[in-house]
Structure 1
């Protein structure tokens, strides 16, 4: 399938927060509650449409264990967007968000679009971090924010698409110079070379991905 732009994404965060489930839900529309721990990184992709532009997302789901941290860092370079995920039922995963964010920003461009994701929001009775607390942290650190459930699909597509829309807006505002090789962004075959600017409108989607 032809596309206007390709964006490289990362999914990062502690082990067990649902990173792989989010990827499978977004790319394959399926929930897999039990799976092997990610070793290094896993990959998925999907094409979405934002304001008439076809955007192909190349998504790397990275391991959360400290053992694989050095391997994970090798995937940071050349990424345009990241989903930084914590589990709303486990306080320690939220406490580690600042460390993950600092790690990413040491290895990527400061213009990278990062969305903070509070996953497993379907587990209301087990909630340990309020939505307000997540929103406040995101606002303080200049991040997008959303709560998701990979199990029920709540906000899964929206999280990936909102991040892509933010990257596209940066392209249109010349934050990224796509006439050069911008980190994590490539111009596709169907994008008219002279028509990079212009504001996007409504968001629709092509293809599909749902996990907690």
Structure 2
């Protein structure tokens, strides 16, 4: 690791209908706690979570947004600068999944960064009254280029694994971006060096041609002088 306490800093925003368990997931992942009684989030809340992956330090800034419509004008501002959007639905509520396509993806397209990664979480997987089938969601996630996990904030199943998965993807994306910038700078330096060499080569060629022309002029002048001397001798 570098002198800082982390090598990567990523911003994540959690969205989804009210009551799907967004706050429970955040507290389970960030603090490893769970409560049956949660107060509905008003506006936004956030937590920091530090972890280590492949000997690299990661710091995640995770924002939990209110699902109620009356708070959406407030929460929309928090999409800006997010590296990943975490979309949560309730596996026991079909409506919460249907609203992803009907509403939440439009919010993402309108307010989130164009290259933000998407993590889709089906929460409350510990409950038996399942309404949303895993196979259907898996196909949907693949079409939408989302990372998909079923999770339970109550039992902690899949929670840490899901956030680590998206963090690893963000790390790889950041590393590739850095490498692309290095390659671009390298190409620019090579192009600049090549142009300089071409210019130097042309300058050398010009000098050579100039010297050759001087030699021709000198030879021509000497020939003229010799002819004049010959003519004078004949006289």
TM interval, shorter chain, is 0.7 to 0.9
SS at match of 2:78: coil
Q: Is 1:113–2:102 an aligned residue pair?
A: no
User: What is the CA distance between 1:102 and its match in structure 2?
Assistant: 2.1
Q: Which runs of 5+ in 2 are unaligned?
A: 183-235
SS at match of 1:145: strand
User: What is the CA distance between 1:171 and its match in structure 2?
Assistant: 1.1
2:168 alignment partner in structure 1:
165
2:148 alignment partner in structure 1:
145
1:44-193 equivalence runs, <5 A: 44-98=47-101, 99-123=103-127, 125-174=128-177
User: What is the CA distance between 1:178 and its match in structure 2?
Assistant: 8.8
CA distance in structure 2 between the partners assigned to 1:82 and 1:120 by the alignment: 19
1:187 alignment partner in structure 2:
none
Preserved contact between residue 115 and residue 143 of structure 1 (Cα < 8 Å): yes
CA distance in structure 1 between the partners assigned to 2:95 and 2:26 by the alignment: 22
Q: Deviations over 1:136-193 (max 9, x none)?
A: 11111111100000000001111111111111111122289899xxxxxxxxxxxxxx
SS at match of 1:6: strand
CA distance in structure 2 between the partners assigned to 1:143 and 1:46 by the alignment: 22
Larger Rg: 2
| TM-score normalized with structure 1 length | 0.80
CA distance in structure 1 between the partners assigned to 2:181 and 2:39 by the alignment: 38
Higher helix share: 2
1:182 alignment partner in structure 2:
none
Query: Judging changes above 3 Å, is the alpha-carbon distance between structure 1 residues 175 and 84 closer, same or farther for their aligned structure 2 residues?
Result: farther
CA distance in structure 2 between the partners assigned to 1:174 and 1:101 by the alignment: 25
Preserved contact between residue 10 and residue 83 of structure 1 (Cα < 8 Å): yes
Preserved contact between residue 79 and residue 113 of structure 2 (Cα < 8 Å): no
CA distance in structure 2 between the partners assigned to 1:176 and 1:126 by the alignment: 47
Query: Judging changes above 3 Å, is the alpha-carbon distance between structure 1 residues 40 and 132 closer, same or farther for their aligned structure 2 residues?
Result: same
